[in-house]
Structure 1
Amino acid sequence: MYSNINLPRQWSRLSYIYRTLTTLEGQTLPQSTKSSDGISPPPRIPRGPTDILQALAATVGPDPTAAHYKYHDDPYLIPLSNFRKRSYALSAEAGRKAAAWIRDEHAELFNTREWDPPGKMKTPYFNADPHIDAFAPKPLYNDESKVTEEDLKYTINNALLEDSLKIFQLLGGTSGVNEELRIAFLQLLCFYNEKEPDSMEWLEERWFSANIRERQAATWKLGGLADKIFESLEPKTSEAYCCIIQGMAKYYQAERAYVLTQEAKDNGIKLSTSVYNSLLGCIGFLKEGTALRTETLKSLLVEMEEQGISPNNETLTSCLRSISAWGGGKMLQQLALQIVAEFKKLGIEPGLSAYYYLLCLFCKERGPRVDILSGILNDLEKRESLEPKEPTDTNFFITAMGVCSDHLQDINLAERLHALLMKDDNYKLVGDAYKESIYYRHFVTVACRHAPFERTTQLLDMLVPNVYVPEPTVMEEIIKTLEVGGAGDRLAQVWSQLVVFGIAKRAKLVERLLSAMCSCYQYQENEVKEKMRAAAADVLRYSQLAEDKEETKDLRSPTQKLSATTLSNIIELCSDTQDKSDPNWDTVSEALQKLRRSEAVGVPNKPQVLADVAQKAATVGKAGIAAVAVTYLAECGFEEAISASTQVLGVMLNRPQEEVKQLLQERQGLDSLHPSALAIADAYHLAKTGAPAQDLDTSTSSESDSESSSEDE
């Protein structure tokens, strides 16, 4: 088996390895700057595996218009709506969930190598190299499992609450576990309140999860296993008191937590800073009234000083969280500023969470305008980096941008805040998808209302749609801004964006867009006008497709019909042509037919538009369209129907309006007119008398017949 080894070849390989090692050793940089030959190279700088990639990326900079790395870099596959982004990311995570399910259901496939030789015993070593515990199958425990305290340590360290409860029962409960392990298990129970925590493995689910506000109510499980374990500990140590008090305070069992605090103080047991931080955060559940709460807050701070307990950043955040939850007013605002000043004297600077609660306290929705944000930004801009320390740090940027948009209405502060967010690695503080969307909603809104038009368009080009997909309310603000700026080309693009974003079925938003297009249409160039007419025609086609789909499928929510004002705007835009063969006239005809068949909501707010369109149609030779427009005005009872009918008939008959009026009043020779002209004449009599001309003739003849018969008698 080993007779075919080529020794010279092996020796050549060994010599090559030796030369390589010698070369690498010669290239090793010295660790000190001293050298015998006078050359002093700099000391070696330790580098990480991705330092070169980060240096290269820093030379290019981020591309704000690029899609997120989680999506394929393909224009046909990049999702451009909120629904598609969510579906795309969650479907990719569903594949990882399927893999995890196979791993857990068939754990035996991942413990041994099935491709070992037949004569070799299968050894229980792992396939993966190196072995990663997070990807390994999780052990399962039942009533027949043989467990040890090491298994309980494993489940506690990995926050497997249900498995920890099972193992704890199998080990005999409080009597079968040593005191150190009982305290560790008690800490797990107090932190999660005896409920299995949400999995931290599925990033996309947590990113796209609905932002549910934390329920601030006493949810601590009284008489549960945590209370039993605490009672079984004798003597009760400081560690036991600290974890049970923090657990009760976290789940707002404030009275019981305060009683245990006094009990530990009476027994001479020293508590930690975290215990007092948790008590400071739930004062509102302990006392009623601002005066009592303020007194309790100050007494807890004094008690910390007496016991020699040093406060930290979390202490400041807890104080401000309680104060901001008590309401508003100058007294609480002065108290908060006083506490911040005292902590600064101790060398404790406010973090993002502390500033978040200050904004909540000073910048109320209906309160007076207070510019506290400028000072906060001045402080944060001086810091080298913003490191997250508490979960509520992600609330600062979204709240601050809301203050810029609604409270202060200041675009300069908004741009400073956004520059701070985009600095270095601060973007991780934006929060989840819900908070990110609200942040950009406020940013785009304040830019549309208070920024110059050029700056607003630059911002929209940078953010929409890859970074942010505007909601309908924000799209309305964008349409208003483009209308004021007279950007007809961009207004025509907005319609395609509404389709891509999945909000083209919102009738009010479409009506607002078409109204904006009509208001600035006459100031555009011919090329832009053509785009706007094409967009208006596409609106009608899209609406027709949606209605046809609704008829064929039983949809849960019916499609909103276009309003009569929307159809009137479509008619106004598409009728701006002198070419009789232009296909836009077909769009005008279809929109008018929808109006006559009462397939639209309401009536047009500008009936004069239909009168002008009727005259245009008659001028270019579209007599049928002119007749339908005038007839609709008459049927709706608009005053413009009388003048429109005479003007249109004058164009069709090539006669002065006075002669046309006389012809219509005498009602002679109307039968010889063209059917379209006859329809306009009927519309004239309908608008003037409330009845068509044919009905008038019938009623007149019946009256004359009755008179003649009476005379004969």
Structure 2
Amino acid sequence: MAAPGRHVGHYIQRNGRFLTNNLEQLFSHRSFGWTPCLRQQAAEAHKEFTETIVIPRKKTWSKEAVLEALASTASRDPTAYNYQFQDDPYLSPRTSTEFKLYSLSQESGRSAAKYFVNGNPKFFTKDFAEPHIPCLMPETVSLRLEEVSEEALKERISLRKVSAAVDMYDQLLQAGTAVSMETTHELLDLVCFYCDKDPVQEGAPQTEEAQEGGEDLKRRRFKIRQTLDSLQWTWKENNNAERIFSALPERDTRCYSALIRGMVKHGAYAKAFSMYTDLLNEKLTADVHIFNALISAASSVRDKYAERWDLIEDLLTQMSQHKVQPNLLTFNSVLKALRRCGSMAKMKSIQTLNEMKALGIDPSLASFDHILSIFYKAASSGQHTTNMLDEIMSELNGSSFTCQDPNDVMFFISAMRICLDTKDLELAYKVQSLVEVGENWRLLGDPFQQSIYYGRFFSLVCGMEHIDVVLKWYKQLIPSLYYPNIQGLKDLLQALDTENRLDLLPQIWKDIRSLGHDNKSDLVEEVLMLMAREKHSPEVQESFAACALSIKGVFSGDRGRTSLEWSTSSLTHITSLLLQANMTQQAWEMLQLFKSKNRVPSEDLLTHFLLVCQSSGSPQRAVDLVQLSAAFCLPATAELAKRTLAEFNLTEEQRAVLSELESLNAETSD
């Protein structure tokens, strides 16, 4: 298909010529007095018009262009769950616990599917995807070359078969076959990276032993397995990497680099520096990867802060002497090591940052995260930390980032933690604005880190902003980006209380139920306390009473859930809310619950109930109330009986009952 620009150019050229020709015919008429001079000017204009047309070259669109264009027209729906949970709405997580379980289940399912696909590639030979998606196609995980050859060794290295690759290498040496240095480098990289152990294949099924037994047994076995794995993945003396390295007739910088980085990765820091000394004795020059690994290990081989910095400075000096150009990870390793260098780290970190800029290396988010950590620990007050974060945000304003360091995902969480600790709302908005630039939100980390970030931001907004702004963020973040925990909901309730917007409590209670936090007794008690603390308009009291009945269902264990334990305060609050809405019958049922749950109602509650009976004209209910008070042996029984006798129109039988209760309670008191 021809490019759109070509059609536009032909259209302009054709119509321009048509317009010029028509003008010439028009002005050639006698009435317009067309002259040779005008005719010449028209011809020159036509020539200039046609010569200035530049037809653009054909535009080649990628296969994903249509999908990208469609994606740019859609925005996030704040009322919907995250897109990754929309396959089955019934299973969409509502709480942070369900979110974690769902995410782990999804990942487990992907791993199991990948394991099956890679283990049975013969069943997945057809590819219908357009464009082609390599990650959805089966990978070659089985060995095809069985003969002893360097090609077979390369195959085992590419498939990450550590033990098989080492065995093939030994067979080649025993057969007298020389292995190229390039293949040897790849073998050393593999063995050192996995610490001489075969990596666990993704999605591999568990053993029968791991599948049997109860949950407690599984948990204990998991902890034991974790401990064993941590011991197995520690660098051991004379492992295959060291054996292969020692048997090499010639060793270059790449061989030393593989071992030194592997030793640092797996905790053998002192041995890594010893290996670096051997490299220098061999008159070899270390590469930038070796220096990066040694700098990151400097704080683990020295005890005093000054000694750690001296070692780092010495390594940097050697890099300069050997003309090894540092990269971003070099300076990030320095900044990360400075986090363990005490108060001297503040000055040294600023020097390091200036050195980066002098060399034309742009800091990544990990660089600024290390700076924040250094200043936050060393600052005597939050003011210095806030100033440093403010300067960083001014520098990063409007920038879009890509991940260049694994620690880049920690910056936004650390920045928001500082904003929350220092109660700096304006700075928090700057951090959030940076997250919203481009695809910076991807650098918030995994879903659990995102939940931490948004939880801190929402808590700060609840404590510092007007309630209308709080509710705006509440609707934008929940549940599409953030599953609030109990503390987040308590912060919201406190904001409603501060701004005197308790009329929104029934709506918030519905969200609490939908989010699955209605089984948290302290949160439920706080909602009841806020509703029952003051008296509101009749409309609000009716909504509070309906909410109280809904909460009563939670305590009764509706929806098949485990019921909460009734407390005296919860019974009292629900009864008061029902009385304030003139729901006498439901309030009386709540008083009966006091007796069945062995809880004692307060005298104020009984007095309140008596006033409601008086306003509604219910003398029999008042008599029943006095009898209930007598059943609890409350000291207020005599006073209640006396008031009932004086304020209600009673029958002789009712008066006799109350008189007997009054005299009996008086004798008991005496």
Please give the TM-score of this superposition, normalised by the length of structure 2: 0.79
Partner in structure 1 of residue 338 of structure 2: 323
Code of the aligned partner of 1:378: S
Picking from 421, 430, 448, the partner of 1:434 is 448
Alpha-carbon deviation of 1:182? Answer: 2.1
Partner in structure 2 of residue 375 of structure 1: 391
Alpha-carbon deviation of 1:172? Answer: 6.3
Say whether the 8 Å CA contact 1:161–1:196 is kept in structure 2. Answer: yes
Code of the aligned partner of 2:320: E
Q: What is the 5 A alignment of 1:177-192?
A: 177-192=179-194
Task: Identify if the C-alpha distance between structure 1 residues 303 and 573 changes in structure 2 by more than 3 Å, giving closer, same or farther.
Answer: same
Structure 2 unaligned blocks of 5 or more: 11-47, 205-222
Q: What is the 5 A alignment of 1:173-572?
A: 177-197=179-199, 219-326=234-341, 328-329=342-343, 331-364=344-377, 368-369=381-382, 370-371=385-386, 372-381=388-397, 383=399, 385-406=400-421, 408-519=422-533, 522-523=535-536, 525-545=537-557, 560-572=564-576
Q: Say whether 1:673 aligns with 2:655.
A: yes
Say whether the 8 Å CA contact 1:220–1:252 is kept in structure 2. Answer: yes
Alpha-carbon deviation of 1:617? Answer: 3.2
Task: Identify if the C-alpha distance between structure 1 residues 430 and 564 changes in structure 2 by more than 3 Å, giving closer, same or farther.
Answer: same
Say whether the 8 Å CA contact 2:459–2:488 is kept in structure 1. Answer: yes
Code of the aligned partner of 2:194: Y
Say whether the 8 Å CA contact 1:645–1:684 is kept in structure 2. Answer: no
Q: What is the 5 A alignment of 1:635-650?
A: 644=640, 646-650=642-646
Structure 1 unaligned blocks of 5 or more: 1-20, 112-125, 203-209, 551-558, 579-583, 656-668, 690-713
**What per-residue deviation string (whole Å, max 9, x for no partner) do you get for residues 590-634 of structure 1?**
33223233456xx77x75244323332354255676567667777
Task: Identify if the C-alpha distance between structure 1 residues 97 and 275 changes in structure 2 by more than 3 Å, giving closer, same or farther.
Answer: closer
C-alpha separation between the residues in 1 aligned to 2:606 and 2:378?
45
Code of the aligned partner of 2:351: Q
Q: Indicate the structure whose relative CO is greater, using CA pairs within 8 Å and at least 6 residues apart.
A: 2
Partner in structure 2 of residue 620 of structure 1: 616
**Going by fraction, where is helix more abundant, 1 or 2?**
2
Q: Secondary structure at the match of 2:303?
A: coil
C-alpha separation between the residues in 2 aligned to 1:174 and 1:428?
51
Code of the aligned partner of 1:189: V
C-alpha separation between the residues in 2 aligned to 1:672 and 1:379?
82
Matched residues, number:
606
Task: Identify if the C-alpha distance between structure 1 residues 321 and 89 changes in structure 2 by more than 3 Å, giving closer, same or farther.
Answer: closer
Say whether the 8 Å CA contact 2:336–2:370 is kept in structure 1. Answer: yes
Q: Say whether 1:611 aligns with 2:597.
A: no
Alpha-carbon deviation of 1:44? Answer: 4.2
Q: Secondary structure at the match of 1:325?
A: coil
**What per-residue deviation string (whole Å, max 9, x for no partner) do you get for residues 550-598 of structure 1?**
5xxxxxxxx54132112211111111134xxxxx434323332232334
Alpha-carbon deviation of 1:227? Answer: 1.6
Task: Identify if the C-alpha distance between structure 1 residues 63 and 496 changes in structure 2 by more than 3 Å, giving closer, same or farther.
Answer: closer
**What per-residue deviation string (whole Å, max 9, x for no partner) do you get for residues 227-252 of structure 1?**
21221222111001111111111223
Picking from 577, 580, 584, the partner of 1:573 is 577
Task: Identify if the C-alpha distance between structure 1 residues 91 and 281 changes in structure 2 by more than 3 Å, giving closer, same or farther.
Answer: closer
Task: Identify if the C-alpha distance between structure 1 residues 165 and 483 changes in structure 2 by more than 3 Å, giving closer, same or farther.
Answer: farther
Say whether the 8 Å CA contact 1:568–1:610 is kept in structure 2. Answer: no
Code of the aligned partner of 1:503: H
Code of the aligned partner of 2:375: F
Task: Identify if the C-alpha distance between structure 1 residues 457 and 180 changes in structure 2 by more than 3 Å, giving closer, same or farther.
Answer: same
Please give the TM-score of this superposition, normalised by the length of structure 1: 0.74
Task: Identify if the C-alpha distance between structure 1 residues 267 and 530 changes in structure 2 by more than 3 Å, giving closer, same or farther.
Answer: same
**What per-residue deviation string (whole Å, max 9, x for no partner) do you get for residues 657-682 of structure 1?**
xxxxxxxxxxxx9x863657865775
Q: Say whether 1:585 aligns with 2:578.
A: no
Partner in structure 2 of residue 48 of structure 1: 62
Q: Secondary structure at the match of 1:282?
A: helix
Task: Identify if the C-alpha distance between structure 1 residues 201 and 335 changes in structure 2 by more than 3 Å, giving closer, same or farther.
Answer: farther
Task: Identify if the C-alpha distance between structure 1 residues 560 and 103 changes in structure 2 by more than 3 Å, giving closer, same or farther.
Answer: same
Q: Secondary structure at the match of 1:611?
A: helix
Q: Secondary structure at the match of 1:522?
A: coil
Q: CA RMSD in A?
A: 4.1
Q: Secondary structure at the match of 1:562?
A: coil
Q: Greater CA deviation, 309-318 or 607-616?
A: 607-616
C-alpha separation between the residues in 2 aligned to 1:444 and 1:174?
67
Q: What is the 5 A alignment of 1:56-135?
A: 56-59=70-73, 61-72=75-86, 78-92=92-106, 96-97=110-111, 99-104=113-118, 106-110=120-124, 132=134, 135=137
C-alpha separation between the residues in 1 aligned to 2:54 and 2:266?
61
Code of the aligned partner of 1:363: Y
Task: Identify if the C-alpha distance between structure 1 residues 623 and 653 changes in structure 2 by more than 3 Å, giving closer, same or farther.
Answer: closer
**What per-residue deviation string (whole Å, max 9, x for no partner) do you get for residues 640-664 of structure 1?**
6665554445433579xxxxxxxxx
Q: Secondary structure at the match of 1:334?
A: helix
C-alpha separation between the residues in 1 aligned to 2:338 and 2:540?
56
Task: Identify if the C-alpha distance between structure 1 residues 35 and 652 changes in structure 2 by more than 3 Å, giving closer, same or farther.
Answer: same
C-alpha separation between the residues in 2 aligned to 1:637 and 1:672?
20
Q: Greater CA deviation, 85-94 or 626-635?
A: 626-635
**What per-residue deviation string (whole Å, max 9, x for no partner) do you get for residues 184-209 of structure 1?**
0111222232345566799xxxxxxx
Q: Secondary structure at the match of 1:235?
A: coil
Task: Identify if the C-alpha distance between structure 1 residues 596 and 263 changes in structure 2 by more than 3 Å, giving closer, same or farther.
Answer: same
